[in-house]
Amino acid sequence: MLKPTNPERAAASRSRSSSKDVAQLAGVSTATVSRALNSPDAVDPETLARVRAAAAKLRYVPHGGARSLRSQRTRMIGAVVPSVEYALYARTTSAVHQRVSARGYSLVLAEHHYDLDAELRVTAQLVQHGVDAFVFVGLDHHPALFSLLDDYGRPYVLTWGVDPLRRHPSVGFDNHAAAYQVTRHLVELGHQHIGLLSAPLQGNDRGMARGEGMRAALADAGLALDPRHVQYAPIHLDTAGEGMMKLISAPNRPTAVVATNDIFAVGGMVACRNAGLRIPQDISITGIDNTDLGATQTPGLTSVRTPIIEIGHAAAEQLMARLEGKDYEAFQSFPIEVVYRGSTAAPKKA
């Protein structure tokens, strides 16, 4: 347990950049800075980009709301997520909301579409509007994000992973281990040609860790991932199906596929059925996150149970404890578990 040192408010006394500093760096007037940050549609795109870049470099946030709220709480907590369309992020966010709402806090939701510059920008806007604390997804973020939060005394917690260097408070689980374990299951069944269906990796340390976990399991078995057996796609059933069609059309096609989440896995299952492949007789498929979508397939999807609700509850409890000056657990790692169902079996003998 950590004692509340309240560095968040102590940091508020540090000197900060002014709008004049931003104007000088961007080569515009302070009036233009004000328009760019408060009425961006009134500024031409090139000037707006220069002002935003200067503000980000100087870690500038307009002082109005932030300064007036340094001595009092708004009881608002911000959840800044990659996408509100992805059901699992929505479930974690809902779990945060359940806990904070019960204690009289409000949750403010924003998304950044896997763009870390956009994440920094929207967080700065929420700081400007007096949001007290923040929940983020994943471990990799723009370096200026943490400087901004420290400068303005805003506690935060990272979710869906645990910082191995213990630099940033975090609650989550081991994404590397999730993919490692399910890949090892396929190897133990006898599969040697295993494909990977994954989300794009930019701004997505969860997907990167899962891909690395799969490759590690293969390496430990003396195997390697064939570059022809890797597909990246946005997280949708239809794009997952398109990726799977490319995998099963590849030379020496894989006999099993690790999907880095259940949406990819189910989209892949649909594509395989449409192509006349039987699951698991002709191809085995696994997912991660153990959703109802995967569990209700025929056959049911072998997947990895991840603690998406638990981490939402833990993140909420940590932030409220810090805001209220109570002891808190800065780092919490929750267990995962492979759930074996009918989508995996030994490869068909030649």
- Cα separation, 277 vs 279, in Å, equals 7
Torsion of the alpha carbons at 178, 180, 186 and 190, rounded to the nearest 10: -160
8 A C-beta contact, residue 271 and residue 195: no
- Cα separation, 131 vs 125, in Å, equals 9
Residues 6+ apart with CB under 8 A from 72: none
The predicted pLDDT at position 45 comes to 82
The predicted pLDDT at position 4 comes to 56
pTM given for the model: 0.80
Within 10 angstroms of residue 276's Cβ, the number of other Cβ atoms is: 8
In the DSSP assignment, the letter for residue 2 is B
**Element housing 48 (H / E):** helix 45-58
The CATH number that domain 75-173+308-335 falls under is: 3.40.50.2300
Could you tell me the fold of the domain covering 19-70? 434 Repressor (Amino-terminal Domain) (1.10.260)
The predicted pLDDT at position 11 comes to 43
The predicted pLDDT at position 5 comes to 52
180-182-185 Cα angle (round to 5)? 110
8 A C-beta contact, residue 233 and residue 242: yes
8 A C-beta contact, residue 248 and residue 275: yes
- Cα separation, 239 vs 222, in Å, equals 31
The pair phi, psi for residue 283, each rounded to 5°, is: -155, 140
Choose among 306, 120, 265, 139: nearest CA to 206: 139
pLDDT, averaged in runs of 10, over the chain (350 residues): 54 60 88 81 84 80 52 85 88 96 96 93 93 96 93 95 94 97 98 95 91 98 96 93 95 95 96 97 97 95 97 98 95 97 91
Beta bridge partners of 197: 231, 259
- Report the SS3 class of residue 53: helix
The predicted pLDDT at position 297 comes to 95
Could you tell me the fold of the domain covering 175-305? Rossmann fold (3.40.50)
Say yes or no: do domains 19-70 and 175-305 share a fold. Answer: no
The predicted pLDDT at position 186 comes to 98
Alpha-carbon 288 to chain mean position: 14
Q: Where are the beta strands (DSSP E) in 116-193?
A: 133-137, 156-159, 170-172
* Domain-wise residue ranges, the chain: 19-70, 75-173+308-335, 175-305
